[in-house]
């Protein structure tokens, strides 16, 4: 693979992971179209295996490993979805996965990671805590690290969702995706740039806006202490993902916590799709008028549907 993934890498990833992943549906909803004043196409990665797009990148990374590397097992840190994805992909290949998870992770996601066969190590909530715990796991086990987003194989795998979206709906004006560590938006931008003239727009919570700040500054800035209901977007950008975002993403916008909750509830009510807060942020930007795309054909990658039902935050919009 080249210094950064290319559209060829995304296409090869699509072929490599095809036996293992779902080709998720693209759905529409007239009520949502009317609410945002545009035609919206929802790429339903909430219906992907493990309930999130992360299975794509994990599969591509694990099935790209050489035989000796694979026998040592794999390791990562994750708030949930990447850990579950890595665990299931590792099980498909017959190897062990080790997952470092912050102690504040959703109980539902921790149960899922363990259920797929991973060995879990808990840590503090900061990125430094994750890195130190992961370093110790690798030292103890010899496992190969599969980073949640700062890995070219993962980025290429994540791009396959947008590739499928554009194969089904080629006449898009805009493709939108959430931004956490940047793996999904980077892969989306790579896939889109080779297939379409559509603009790629990333969306993130205002309480975890390191990507917006970095994008505005034109350089990678360290994140602070993210506070958002969208737990999958609390990680900062990586030095592999930011250059791709800088070159290929048209804009990054921010949304409030209230807008995220309203978009999630709207999706549940109007489409009957269960999505998690992280998946709701692109629609939140449209519903809350953080960006004007009236009359456009908009593709949104619904990134996942893993939610702890005990934490449902569903007040009505004022």
Distance between CA atoms of 59 and 5, rounded to whole angstroms?
A: 16
Helices (H), ranges, the chain: 7-17, 30-36, 54-62, 67-71, 81-93, 107-115, 127-141, 152-168, 183-195, 210-217, 241-248, 257-271, 277-287
Write out pLDDT tens, residues 230-252: 988 988 899 999 999 999 999 99
Q: Are 252 and 204 in contact (CB under 8 A)?
A: yes
Q: Are strands 26-27 and 39-44 parallel, antiparallel or unpaired?
A: antiparallel
Q: Which domains does the chain have, with CATH numbers?
A: 7-52+158-311 (3.40.50.1100), 55-145 (3.40.50.1100)
Mean pLDDT calculated for residue range 15-36: 98
When mean pLDDT is compared across 114-123, 166-175, 218-227, the lowest value belongs to 218-227
Write out pLDDT tens, residues 138-165: 999 999 999 999 999 999 999 999 999 9
pLDDT for residue 28: 98
Question: Shortest CA distance to 145 belongs to which of 239, 75, 238, 242?
Answer: 75
Give, for 199, the enclosing helix (H) or strand (E). strand 199-205
pLDDT for residue 128: 85
pLDDT for residue 318: 47
pTM score, whole prediction:
0.92
Q: Kindly give, in sequence order, each residue whose CB lies less than 8 Å from that of residue 303, ignoring residues fewer than 6 positions away.
A: 45, 46, 52, 53, 177, 178, 184, 232, 276, 278, 279
Confidence of residue 308 (pLDDT cuts 50, 70, 90): confident
């Amino acid at each position: 693979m080249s210094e950064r993934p290319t559209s060829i890498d995304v296409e090869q990833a699509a072929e490599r992971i095809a036996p293992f992943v779902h080709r998720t549906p693209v759905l529409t909803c007239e009520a949502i179209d009317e609410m945002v004043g545009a035609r919206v196409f929802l790429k339903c990665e909430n219906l992907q295996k493990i309930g999130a797009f992360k299975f794509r990148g994990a599969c591509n990374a694990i099935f790209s490993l050489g035989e000796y590397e694979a026998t040592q097992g794999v390791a990562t840190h994750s708030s949930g979805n990447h850990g579950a994805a890595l665990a299931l992909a590792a099980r498909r290949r017959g190897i062990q996965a080790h997952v470092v998870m912050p102690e504040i992770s959703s109980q539902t996601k921790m149960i899922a990671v363990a259920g797929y066969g991973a060995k879990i190590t808990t840590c503090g909530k900061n990125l430094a805590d994750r890195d130190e715990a992961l370093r110790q796991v690798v030292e103890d086990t010899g496992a190969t690290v599969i980073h949640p987003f700062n890995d070219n194989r993962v980025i290429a795998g994540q791009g396959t969702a947008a590739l499928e979206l554009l194969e089904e709906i080629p006449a898009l004006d805009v493709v939108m995706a959430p931004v956490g560590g940047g793996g999904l938006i980077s892969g989306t931008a790579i896939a889109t740039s080779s297939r379409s003239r559509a603009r790629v727009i990333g969306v993130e919570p205002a309480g975890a806006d390191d990507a917006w700040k970095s994008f505005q500054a034109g350089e990678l800035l360290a994140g602070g202490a993210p506070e958002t209901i969208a737990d999958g977007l609390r990680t900062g950008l990586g030095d592999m993902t930011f250059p791709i975002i800088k070159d290929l993403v048209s804009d990054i916008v921010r949304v409030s916590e209230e807008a995220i909750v309203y978009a999630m509830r709207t999706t549940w009510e109007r489409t009957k799709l269960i999505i998690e807060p992280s998946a709701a942020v692109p629609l939140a930007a449209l519903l809350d008028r953080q960006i004007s795309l009236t009359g456009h054909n908009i593709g949104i990658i619904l990134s996942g549907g893993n939610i702890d039902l005990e934490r449902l935050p569903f007040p009505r919009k004022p």
